[in-house]
Amino acid sequence: MTLLWLPIGLAIPTLIGWLVLTLLEGKTPVLLATERWVMGLLLGLTFTMYLTFLAHIASIIALSLAGFFAIQLVALAILGGLYFLREWRDAAYGVSPPVPPAPSPRPRLWIVLILIALLLWTAAKIILPGFILLSTPPYFDDTISNWNMRGNVFFVTKNLELRLPTQRPGDTAPNSLSSYPPTVPMAKAWLADLAGKWDIGLVNSIHLVWLLISLALVWTTIRRTASRTWSVIALWLLASLPLYLMQGTNAYADVFLSAHLLAAAVLLYHAARAETPQQRLAALRLAAFATALLPFTKNEGFLIYLPTILAVTVALLLVSVKRNILTWKHVGVAFAWFVLLILAIGAPWIGFKLAHGMPFGNAKSVSGFTIAWQPNVLVSIAINTFFEGNWLLLFPVFIALLLARSREAFRTPLAVLTFTFLIVYLGQIPLFLFTSLSTEALMQTGYARGLIHLVPIVIIIVTLLARSIVDNEDERYKKQDTRNKE
Amino acid sequence: MRFRIFLLGLFFVPLAAHAEDSTVWNFQNADALKVWNVQGISVQPTAEGFHITGQGGMIRATLLAHPIDVIELTFARSQATTIALLWHVPGAPQQALVQVPIVLSGGSQPETVTVNMGRYQKWSRNADLLGLGFPEGTDLVLQDMTMRGWSLSEKILEAWRSFWTFDEEKAYSINFLWGPLLVTNPVAREQLFSTLPPFGRSANSIFYGIIILAGLVIASLAAYRRMRLRDGARHRTCILAFLGVVASVWLVYDVRMGSEILSYAARDYRTYVSQPPGNRTLRNLENFYDVVERSMPLLTLDPHYVIIVPKGIEHLATVALSMTYPSVPLFPEEKPGPEIHAWLIFRRGDIRVDDHGQLVQGSTVLSPPGRIVTQFDQTSFLFRPIDAIVRRPMGAGTDAACGVSTIHPQ
């Protein structure tokens, strides 16, 4: 029965997220209806926790049931008011029609049966380990000593404590100061406040929601361009990755971050696919919102993914101008949205970290590295990527498809996703090869976590490239090129 | 008719005719010593086996009719020591012996050490010399030595079985999963995930082999039928066939790894979720959660309690903290004061209650006088100082909730 607090606790944040996305879209909807709700749930919860954090550090509220609730009601009232104002205004001026999903012809019976079997198998792989997550105490280290511990401390003290209790009360070393953004533990504290007790099943259940969000985002992204068959295949592929499934059915925050990164990258992809300037600008506004929330997820969100998404955005804007899809004025407006939202959401958190002397790395500080070749790292990376059970056949297949379909991977809107992956992946390899971060690769910790964040994006690329082969899109592109020349 | 010919053909296939070959060198008779070249050590044949003392080694010609995959050494009694297993690779210089360490736990009971020789790169299945090396101060009785080898068909079968042998959920499982590993004998399979890193060939290399082979076959067929690269539908058929092979391999791999993850869930259900308090164990932390949970009424009475856990896994205190917060455990080094209500001792055989009712470690007194209120197992218990009992006597309800089973009034 305690689990009933989960949907209750997610309802208002989802609505807040949905309202923010709808308002940012303006008169030009660029999301599928399902996509808007899924992203609303993901981004809405994080955004709500960010607002709560702001109000808390401004000493307006405590991290209590009343505090959480007050912020959500105020946000809902303001956003709801803006929404109805817009509805009233748009009733006069009209809005663009909603985005339809791609056509989905009914596949043959044997294909339907295979797809149903894949979905049932996937459901079993999520439900059974999910049941264990809800009915056993935490086992893995980060769950115990970080995510759940901090959530429990917030719940008990009603305060954003930066130092966690320890068996050695005299320990005041800098590394005992928590450096992580508080979104995940605050969400747990909110659920616990609703239930009135710290219930392990309830506070861990949110991690299953983040796994389902990630799967749903992969589904909706594929559905924008391909049939349901391909959406099911993509969903099965992502859930088939053993390490992703392990992380998703345990109380870790890497799938949570992967969903946020996926949302930001997918919204940029939507912008790249948009046919009109208005649609492209609307998608860019949404991408700016998702990007701005990245620093408030995990430290990697600020250090690695925010700069990457910004770099891809700048490239997309320049290409858009070159192809006469956007004007320089449009570029200025889009860039202003990014700057505004990143400053509004990222800056307070970064300022808070600086003010409290909180480090920016996770396991290690990011400053003070000495540069030297680290032996055995390449072998370790190769084993983790190609010869363990973590990713099945994903990376060899991905590399083969990039080579076989390089035109589509690098010269169509899909390039947004391809470059997001490549910048992050190739950017972090030198860190492992030449700095003391090598232990993260040698011990198979940080390296594999980095891939967890990226694999939903890789799955989308793999699915769309495979689909282009199966549907023989080469011929289609050729015909299209010929027509364009004519 | 074809089926009958097929059945008849089976008689000519030596499928599992020589599934396992095994040779035992028994050392319980004096004649057995004749074939051994002994240096440095003293070897006395006894009814139990060779009584070996001193430092040195013994070696002999292998002279077996079958290759060796596994060697088993049985000691009637031994000491905690590390001896060496030696061999000579045919064709190598006469003095070039290879050796690997064999760790003996020691004791008066017979001990068998099983060594999967395949895990050593320098091992030769047809080694022509085998021997043992002993360090200074050796005093043990070697009872017998068994050499085991398996046929090709049995090795293939074992590789298939090892493919479906799953790891258990461990602390590293959140960071990486070994995936299916292939080994070719039952001993290696039994030991598959018991060492870090595990020994075995990654099944991924087989998968890659299948995919590359399929690609070559399909490409060859296409070339044979003279399909041009842009030959519309037929070219597409070839690509679809290849993608079908990749998808099939992916599916098999998914079933293998998905089954492993489901086996984690099944084990947790069996050992924890479905068990009543007192019988619950979870993964390698065994009954720790159960012990803390049963101690909760006492542990959560006050802001602090003391916890003593085995050395090297102090992390258990953090696990306890996550369960009892806002009550915080303290290590005894923090010099807890008289306000401490409860001491949780987990798997510490070196800590006991002395005649004065105090917790002691050797001659060091750890706590004021008190009593054990719950004994969880031989070396785990919940202890309460008398002062605490007087200050705050527990109600029957709390005692029952603690599962008070063994009370030792002092």
Q: How far apart are CA A230 and CA A471, in angstroms?
A: 11
Q: Is A138 within 8 Å of chain B by CB?
A: yes
pLDDT at A366 over 70: no
Q: Does the domain formed by B20-150 have CATH 2.60.120.430?
A: yes
Mean pLDDT over residues B262-289, rounded?
96
Contacts of A139 in chain B (CB under 8 A): 169, 171, 282-283, 285
Got the DSSP string for A171-209? ---GGGB--S-SHHHHHHHHHHHHHTS--HHHHHHHHHH
- Give the rounded percent of residues in chain B with a pLDDT score beyond 90: 77
Q: How confident is the model at residue A333 (pLDDT cuts 50, 70, 90)?
A: very high
Interchain contact, A448 vs B269, CB within 8 Å:
no
Assign B227 a pLDDT band (cuts: 50, 70, 90): low
User: How many whole angstroms separate alpha carbon A397 and alpha carbon A420?
Assistant: 18
- Give dist(CA B272, CA B290) in Å, integer: 9
Distance, CA of B41 to CA of B57 (rounded, Å): 6
Number of other CB atoms surrounding residue B148 within 10 Å = 21
Candidate from A132, A144, A170 with C-beta closest to B265: A132
Cβ B131 vs Cβ B86: under 8 Å: yes
Residue B383, pLDDT score: 96
- Which pLDDT belongs to residue B16? 45
Q: What is the CA A309 to chain-centroid distance, rounded? A: 12
Question: Exposed e or buried b for every residue in B290-309, given b needs 16+ CB within 10 A?
Answer: bbbbbbebbbbbeebbbbbb
Lowest average pLDDT, out of A291-300, A347-356, A425-434, B334-343, goes to B334-343
Contacts of A314 (CB under 8 A, 6+ apart): none
Please measure the distance between the N-terminal and C-terminal CA atoms of chain A and give it in whole angstroms.
66
**CA–CA distance from A320 to each of A67, A117, A326, A417, B220 (Å)?**
44, 43, 5, 16, 44
Which DSSP category does A107 fall into?
A: P
Distance between first and last Cα of chain B = 87
**What pLDDT does B9 receive?**
58
Check if the beta carbon of residue B301 is closer than 8 Å to that of residue B327: yes
Q: Where are the beta strands (DSSP E) in A81-161?
A: none
What type of residue sits at position B108?
Answer: S
Q: Are residues B328 and A246, on separate chains, in Cβ contact within 8 Å?
A: no
> In angstroms, rounded to a whole number, what is the distance separating the alpha carbons of residues B251 and A434?
37
CA distances from A261 to A196, A412, A424, B374, B377 (A): 32, 20, 11, 50, 48
Cα A363 to the center of its chain, rounded Å: 21
pLDDT of residue B1: 52
Say if the Cβ atoms of B240 and A153 lie within 8 Å. Answer: no
| Min distance A451 CA to chain B CA atoms (Å) | 11
Confidence of residue A99 (pLDDT cuts 50, 70, 90): confident
| Mean pLDDT (chain A, rounded) | 92
Determine whether B49 is exposed, middle or buried from the number of CB atoms within 10 Å of its CB (0-12, 13-18, 19+): buried
Beta strands in A362-432 (DSSP E): none
Position A367 scores a pLDDT of 57
pLDDT score for B401: 45
User: Stretch B254-274: mean pLDDT, rounded?
Assistant: 98
Under a CB-based contact definition with an 8 Å cutoff, are residues A107 and B138 in contact? no
Note the maximum CA span of chain A: 78
**Three-state SS for A151?**
helix
Quick check: A94 pLDDT over 50?
yes
pLDDT for position A134: 97
Q: Is pLDDT of A422 > 90?
A: yes
Q: For residues A265 and A309, is the Cβ–Cβ distance under 8 A?
A: yes
Give, in order, the Cα–Cα distances in Å from B346 to each of A136, A149, A174, B323.
20, 22, 30, 15
Sole residue written with tokens 């010399």: B129
**pLDDT over 70, % of chain A:** 93
Residue B228 has pLDDT above 70, yes or no: no
Average pLDDT over residues A135-148: 95
Q: How far is B357 from chain A (nearest CA, A)?
A: 25
Measured distance CA(B69)–CA(B267) in Å, rounded? 32
Strands (DSSP E) found in A358-408: none
Lowest mean pLDDT among A47-56, B163-172, B297-306: B297-306
B409: pLDDT confidence band, cut at 50, 70 and 90?
very low
The helix or strand, by DSSP H or E, that contains position A440, with its residue range, turns out to be helix A438-442
Check residue B53 and give its pLDDT: 96
Rounded (10°) CA dihedral B219, B220, B226, B230: 10
Residue at B283: amino acid letter: R
Domain ranges (residues) in chain B: 20-150, 154-274, 283-401
pLDDT of residue B186: 95
Length, in residues, of chain B: 410
pLDDT-derived band at B400 (thresholds 50, 70, 90) equals: very low
- Nearest Cα residue in chain A from B233: A472
A244-278 exposure pattern, b = at least 16 Cβ within 10 A, e = fewer: bbbbbbbbbbbbbbbbbbbbbbbbbbbbbbbeebe
- With CA atoms as reference, the chain A residue closest to B308 would be A167
Q: What is the CA radius of gyration of chain B?
A: 31
A136 contacts B273? CB cut-off 8 A: yes
Q: Touching check for A168 and chain B: CB below 8 Å?
A: yes
Cα dihedral A145, A253, A52, A203, rounded to 10, equals -70
Which of B163, B239, B257 should one mutate to test binding to chain A, selecting the residue with the greatest count of A CBs within 10 A?
Answer: B257
The identity of residue B7, as a single letter, is L
Residue-level pLDDT at B410: 30
3-state helix, strand and coil shares in percent for chain A, rounded to the nearest 5: 75, 0, 25
Q: What is the pLDDT of residue B399?
A: 46
Residues A407-421 have a mean pLDDT of: 97
Can you name the residues that pair with B42 across neighbouring β-strands? Answer: B53
List phi, psi (to 5°) of B23.
-130, 130
Distance from CA of A325 to the nearest CA of B (A): 34
CA distance B290 to B287: 5
Q: What is the pLDDT of residue B2?
A: 57
Separation in Å, CA A422 to CA A94, A184, A427, A468: 41, 28, 8, 21
The Cα A435–Cα A439 span in angstroms is 9
Q: What is the pLDDT of residue A314?
A: 97
DSSP B78: B
HSE-CB at A389 with a 13 A cutoff on CA atoms is 29
**Low-confidence winner among A45-54, A311-320, A472-481, B103-112 (lowest mean pLDDT):** A472-481
Q: Could you tell me if B102 lies within 8 Å of chain A, comparing CB atoms?
A: no
Say whether pLDDT at B170 is over 60. Answer: yes
pLDDT given for residue A369 in this prediction? 65
Taking only the tens place, the pLDDT of each residue in B2-19 is 556 655 555 555 444 457
Nearest-Cα residue of chain A relative to residue B259: A125
Identify the three-state secondary structure at position B227: coil
Q: What is the pLDDT of residue A468?
A: 93
CA distance B323 to A361: 27
Rounded-to-integer distance, Cα A431 and Cα A442, Å: 12
The minimum CA-CA distance between B88 and chain A, rounded to whole Å, is 31
Residue B179 CA to its chain's centroid (Å): 16
pLDDT at A423: 97
Q: Where is pLDDT greater, at B225 or A338?
A: A338
Contact in structure between B294 and B277 (CB atoms under 8 Å): yes
Question: Strand pairing of B343-345 and B380-385?
Answer: antiparallel
Q: Check: CB of residue A252 under 8 Å from CB of residue B174.
A: yes
Contacts of B334 in chain A (CB under 8 A): 167-170
- Band (pLDDT 50/70/90 cuts) for residue B201 is very high
User: Can you list the pairs that B7-15 forms with residues at least 24 positions away whose Cβ atoms lie under 8 Å?
Assistant: B14/B151, B14/B153, B15/B153
Residues B177, A389: C-beta atoms closer than 8 Å: yes
Q: How far is A258 from chain B (nearest CA, A)?
A: 15
Query: What's the average model confidence in pLDDT over A406-434?
Result: 95
Each residue of A374-398: pLDDT tens digit?
888 999 999 999 999 999 999 999 9
Find out whether B382 and B405 touch, Cβ atoms under 8 Å.
no
Considering only A358-372, B145-159, B366-380, which range has the smallest mean pLDDT?
Answer: A358-372
pLDDT at A113: 97
Residue B339 neighbours by CB distance under 10 Å: 12
Provide the shortest C-alpha distance from residue B18 to chain A (in Å).
Answer: 33
Mean of pLDDT over chain B: 89
Q: How far apart are CA A137 and CA B289, in angstroms?
A: 8
- Its ipTM equals 0.93
pLDDT of residue A57: 95
Question: Residue B353 contacts by C-beta under 8 Å, 6 or more apart in sequence?
Answer: B359, B360, B370, B371, B372, B383, B408, B410
In chain A, the percentage of residues whose pLDDT exceeds 90 is 79
Amino acid at B409: P
Measured between CB atoms, does A166 come within 8 Å of chain B?
A: yes
- What average pLDDT does the segment B135-148 reach? 96
Write out pLDDT tens, residues A24-63: 999 899 999 999 999 999 999 999 999 999 999 999 999 9
pLDDT grade for A473, boundaries at 50, 70 and 90: low
Q: Do A388 and B177 touch (CB under 8 A)?
A: yes
pLDDT at A288: 98
Predicted pLDDT at A77: 98
Helices (H), A249-326: 254-273, 277-293, 299-300, 306-322
Tell me, what's the pLDDT at A363?
A: 52
Q: For residue A158, report the phi and psi dihedrals to the nearest 5 degrees.
A: 60, 30
Q: List Cβ neighbours of B136 (8 Å cut-off, separation of 6 or more).
A: B54, B55
Among B175, B207, B267, most A C-beta atoms within 10 A, so best to mutate, is B175
Tell me which amino acid residue B172 is.
Y
